[in-house]
A and B are shown apart, each in its own frame.
Chain A
């Protein structure tokens, strides 16, 4: 059924494409939010993703790879959104009514109690590729082969980049925790 929708959309059927958009918009928005951490940028990235996909659909050769293809466009749109913002970051945070001020001088980095603020700042220091690979693996729980297809790199490279991204995040978190 989805294959038929993609085929029809590829031939210029707007109705079929709108149906595809409604099916995919939640997943695309979720990825964009996780990578960008900012609703306004994520909204822009989602719109740009679907418009770019619509314009490029006639070039899609394998309709069965539509999801991976759309995933690649999503990550490109996130990259463009970050370039537009150029260093301006909105940092959303978490809630609790029982939060206590940190005695920074006395604290060591406590991985289990990383605040949302600290995580978002640390995550914001990563490249889009590093953010993307962490989101695809840890949030979307995609297999390595699928991540490789979405990023356009071999499976072995996915594993090494995943490891490097994880280390980079931990270093950034440790830097956040220093006074």
Chain B
């Protein structure tokens, strides 16, 4: 058996396609560079070579650091930092500003840095921070949680950055690489009297929405089963603008029941391929799972195994905070 060069190149090219957002990426990088100073050359030289300096030197530094830590007076915990349970989340309500501040402070233990998503009814305020570009300085908008002290910085998704009118609640992600700050994924479209909709209610609501009338950052919370096809397909590489997420492959749906399926459930919504592998928590592969999912509306050019209600893209699974 030999997988020939052309086939390999074709598959790699398919994986590498979809670079349409590179301008926005460059904008985002430029904004972050504008807020980041270059360290002096001696410091980066040291950082690059420190691992090679030898364990003895590192151990000596560790002893000094440990001595400083031991010598420092213990912090006095205040009554306001006492953690409390967060009940009823997420299907009935969003986190309040106080609850979100506790999550950012590291409670409940273990949640911070887990990559978990939370929904919170807290505003985002933007303040212009000066970004220096050579001789000129321009204002770079930087987001913060409204009314939360000490201040918590919010990094907004590209979809939110282009949205001038931010309306809470928001879907936030706790990213380990940005400790003490939050990543804002999108605005949550609340359901009447609740945050999450049933699948039927989501499909009905979607019919009422005019195409393109909603902000691109908007996500919906849907309580449904996630079901992946039992069938396997031979597929040819996509052509033109067809997006691989909804093309031939491991078709996956939000469905009203947990029955396994090999074709689109009539009362379901198509989601991106292999979503069960990404968002499933159970040990058994391809076993349907029920949860609350944050989904964004999608209108793919081509939709393989698509039910009448069309397609949506799961952006997160919302697990209750214990």
Contact = CB atoms under 8 A, between A and B. Distances in A.
B18 A100 contact: no
Contacts of B5: 138
A91 B17 CA distance: 14
Contacts of B38: 12, 54-55, 57-58
A96 B251 CA distance: 12
**For chain A, what secondary structure do more than half of its interface residues adopt (helix, strand, loop), or is it mixed?**
helix
B304 A18 contact: no
B16 interface: yes
Interface string A114-137: 111101100100000000001100
Contact of B2 (A26, A139, A170): A170
Nearest to A169: B3
Given A84-B177, A93-B235, A120-B15, A56 B1 contact: no
A32 to B, nearest CB: 9
B11 A14 contact: no
Interface residues of B, number: 71
B15 A29 contact: no
A69 to B, nearest CB: 12
22 contacts: A12-B38, A14-B33, A14-B132, A16-B134, A18-B30, A34-B16, A37-B15, A39-B18, A46-B25, A47-B25, A50-B29, A55-B39, A58-B38, A58-B40, A84-B115, A91-B250, A95-B235, A111-B7, A113-B234, A116-B238, A117-B235, A135-B12
Interface of A: 12-18, 21-22, 25-26, 29-31, 33-34, 37, 39, 43, 46-47, 50-51, 54-59, 84, 88-97, 99-102, 104, 109, 111-117, 119-120, 123, 134-135, 138-139, 166, 169-170, 173-174
Interface of B: 1-5, 7-9, 11-19, 21-23, 25-26, 28-30, 32-34, 36, 38-41, 44-45, 48, 115, 131-134, 136, 176-177, 231-239, 242-250, 262, 272-275, 277-278, 302, 304
